[in-house]
Structure 1
Amino acid sequence: MEIKTKDIIRFFENDFSYLSRQYEWDTNGIQIIVHDNNISKIVLSLEPTIDAIEFAIKEGCELMITHHPLFFRPIKRVDIYNPIGKKISLSVLNQLNILSYHTVLDRADYSLNDYIADVVGAKVLKGFADLEKESFYKFVVFVPKGYENKVIDAIDAAGAGKIGNYSKCTFYTEGTGTFLPEEGTSPFLGKIGKLEEAHEYRLETIVRKKDLEKVLKSVLAVHPYEEVAYDIYKLEMGEEYSLGRVCGFDNEIDFTQFLKLLSEKFNLNNISHNNSGENFSFDKFAVVTGSGATFWKECKKQNIKVLLTGDMKYHDAVDAYENGVVIVDIGHYESESIYMNYLAKLLEEKFKVKTIVYKSKLKINHWRPDNA
């Protein structure tokens, strides 16, 4: 079975997560596309660094997938003597496609934060911050008897009619439709100038907002009528998504045990925190991978004592401390790079391709006198 880059794109943007979940300032999806060849080997890297791209080329990978995007902001020129220009030229000349999925993975149903919870043995209790809802609509179309299965297949092919792990979820009722074909029409049933009655089904399903246009186009392509009657209703229901997670342990854990657990699970020799030395106990914490230290304010609102994240700045540490919130910083790289291992395994199982996780040289290192 041939796997193309478009298959990987469809998976990340329509199945695993949704492009609609990215923040406005972010860039997700296609970074560089230079071929439509079969994908047999994928490299995953937290960053699209020059060394990561050179590694992918050396390993013969056709595709690179990163968490942090290659293009955070528009570029005005391509200069192969600066880093961004060199990355572009290396990728193009060596036929390496690059995709990046950043905040769409941060806000996926199974996000980086869910994976962190699993790694440390905690349960996800709820979403943490920036709660939003994925809008749903009811799509209703009137179909002549005998064509209902074709329309259901078209709805399914367009990504609609899914509830949980069930697909092709529809409901239809029988009825009689009437129409009078006028001059200039080419009716599927009946004759021009004669009132016609048709045995029809009122077929309905649910559709995500982002899929509405695609569903309508797919249905119209298989519907036999010259003019198709359909209705679209916005629903109050919606699939909630968020940034970060509130996690809980079955039993209380003290702060020192928590640090030891993190050190063991993430293979860390250094963990930063703003705790003054109190060895308190807790049973829940919030996690926002990457640069999430500013979310200590949300912790205070929700009466959560501990925030697990990366990139803690001094003033955040001081402000959080004075407001009773302990920030635990395991590092931006350390909190996110582990997720690439999960994605690699997921892609191997789903697409039967070989994956390689590249461990970046970019991560922040710590020097100690005993290393000298």
Structure 2
Amino acid sequence: MTENTVTLADATAALDVAYPPRLAESWDSVGLVSGDPADTVAAVMYAVDATADVVDEALEWGADLLVVHHPLLLRGVDTVAANTPKGALIHRLVKGGCALFTAHTNADSANPGVSDALAALLGVSDTRPIEPIDSPRVDKWVVLVPATHTASVREALFVAGAGAIGNYRECSWTVSGQGQFRPVSGAEPALGEIDRLEQVAEDRIEVVAPSSLRPQILGALDRIHPYEEPAFDVFEEARLPTSTGLGRVGSLAEPTTLRSFAARVQRALPETVWGVRAAGDPDRIVSTVAVCGGAGDSFLGAVEGLGADVFVTSDLRHHPVDEHLRAGGPAVIDVAHWASEWPWCEQARGILDSRFAHTPGWKSRVSALRTDPWTVGSLES
């Protein structure tokens, strides 16, 4: 990126930092769908779905990039021919010079993510995930090396990818001590002689590295460590819960009734044919609220264990809710799937705007179209 331009690669890299692809479910499809990473981006539109109407709006507005939540190409496809519904949209976007990017379940689990945007809109604070994602697998490497080679071995570990902790790089800890060894027949020692005890001033280097980098770390030690048999230990660290994961549970500033809170939800979210409906005692006092943008009925059991008084989510079904309430579970509020995820659009917009709004000509926009598929509500006779 030059001082006065933003490339598609710059924009997608920023989105990947906010919504790491590693957080996506294994079945999901996220990231850049179409577009040339080298192209310049100055106009970005955000929407939940890449429908035909949304694509029309993006192209008419002059968008260079359309960022959506729901994947256009999720299930397996073997064609994007222009005579297929989804292929036609891809062709129109490509011809119109508008790239398409998807952040789906990675945005659901990110911090902040889809459920954070919903929680904030409803006045729910001090949130934590309903289903936390454990931290990535990390190893601690302990390497013993002659003091004369400490710097070169440590640098090789860094080059191989070790030593990164959050926003810090080249992190290590070193302490000095005395090592000893006795080479026996068949050894080719770099130091010492066969069958003679050797004592050496050594340093103990400790670094961390993702477990996925084990082959690279081992390769670096084989290449740079002066000993015929490098002395090292590898400890896999405990995986701790993180602030990432699906759903959120938090608190209201002031307790209220289920009836009043349901009305707050209705006022906060965009109007849809699906509307807002609640199940449970209308006069129940609620102060701890669980939310999950999108379909969240799989968490009905979990939210009870987290002390929630009410659970706000989408796509709830009769029997699971009935059984949940019979078992004494918290009240539930069911909203339209699209409406529960729509607040995320403004959150995603803020991510790129905070990075690139200073760029000349930069502009962004959340689509005004409601892509909820339901079009007719209750009918009068």
Q: TM-score, normalised by structure 2?
A: 0.75
For the residues of structure 1 that align with 2:35 and 2:284, how far apart are their CA atoms? 51
Identity of aligned residues (%): 18
Which protein is bigger by CA-based radius of gyration? Answer: 2
**Correspondence for 1:322 among 321, 326, 348:** 326
1:129 aligns with 2:134: no
In the TM superposition, residue 152 of structure 1 has moved relative to its aligned partner by 8.3
Match of 2:295 in 1: 291
For the residues of structure 2 that align with 1:204 and 1:12, how far apart are their CA atoms? 33
Single out whichever of 299-308 and 284-293 deviates more from structure 2: 299-308
In the TM superposition, residue 237 of structure 1 has moved relative to its aligned partner by 3.8
In the TM superposition, residue 69 of structure 1 has moved relative to its aligned partner by 1.0
Match of 1:93 in 2: 95
Match of 1:183 in 2: none
In the TM superposition, residue 315 of structure 1 has moved relative to its aligned partner by 2.9
Q: Secondary structure at the match of 2:279?
A: coil
After superposition, the Cα gap between the structure-2 partners of 1:232 and 1:20, relative to the gap in structure 1 and judged at 3 Å, is farther
Q: Does the 8 A contact of 1:34 with 1:92 survive in 2? A: no
Single out whichever of 4-13 and 335-344 deviates more from structure 2: 4-13
For the residues of structure 1 that align with 2:312 and 2:127, how far apart are their CA atoms? 15
Unaligned runs of 5+ in 2: 184-189, 192-198
After superposition, the Cα gap between the structure-2 partners of 1:65 and 1:305, relative to the gap in structure 1 and judged at 3 Å, is same
In the TM superposition, residue 97 of structure 1 has moved relative to its aligned partner by 2.5
Match of 2:108 in 1: 106
1:279 aligns with 2:288: no
Single out whichever of 305-314 and 146-155 deviates more from structure 2: 146-155
AA aligned to 2:354 is E
Q: Secondary structure at the match of 1:248?
A: strand
After superposition, give the CA deviation of every residue in 1:178-197 in whole Å (9 maximum; x if it has no partner): 9x9xxxxxxxx99xxxxxx9
For the residues of structure 2 that align with 1:272 and 1:297, how far apart are their CA atoms? 21
AA aligned to 1:347 is L
After superposition, the Cα gap between the structure-2 partners of 1:26 and 1:260, relative to the gap in structure 1 and judged at 3 Å, is same
For the residues of structure 1 that align with 2:40 and 2:143, how far apart are their CA atoms? 38
Match of 1:70 in 2: 72
**How do 1:220-369 and structure 2 match up within 5 A?**
232-240=234-242, 241-268=244-271, 271-275=275-279, 278-324=282-328, 325-352=330-357, 354=362, 355-364=364-373
For the residues of structure 1 that align with 2:65 and 2:208, how far apart are their CA atoms? 34
By relative contact order (CA 8 Å, sep 6+), the higher-ranking structure is 2
Single out whichever of 31-40 and 252-261 deviates more from structure 2: 31-40
Q: Does the 8 A contact of 2:42 with 2:64 survive in 1? A: yes
For the residues of structure 2 that align with 1:177 and 1:10, how far apart are their CA atoms? 46
**How do 1:181-200 and structure 2 match up within 5 A?**
none
AA aligned to 1:344 is R
After superposition, the Cα gap between the structure-2 partners of 1:159 and 1:288, relative to the gap in structure 1 and judged at 3 Å, is farther
Single out whichever of 246-255 and 339-348 deviates more from structure 2: 246-255
AA aligned to 1:345 is G
For the residues of structure 2 that align with 1:320 and 1:92, how far apart are their CA atoms? 47
Q: Does the 8 A contact of 1:138 with 1:234 survive in 2? A: yes
After superposition, the Cα gap between the structure-2 partners of 1:263 and 1:32, relative to the gap in structure 1 and judged at 3 Å, is same
After superposition, the Cα gap between the structure-2 partners of 1:159 and 1:118, relative to the gap in structure 1 and judged at 3 Å, is farther
In the TM superposition, residue 296 of structure 1 has moved relative to its aligned partner by 1.6
Q: Does the 8 A contact of 1:145 with 1:199 survive in 2? A: no
For the residues of structure 1 that align with 2:200 and 2:50, how far apart are their CA atoms? 59
After superposition, the Cα gap between the structure-2 partners of 1:16 and 1:323, relative to the gap in structure 1 and judged at 3 Å, is same
In the TM superposition, residue 23 of structure 1 has moved relative to its aligned partner by 1.4
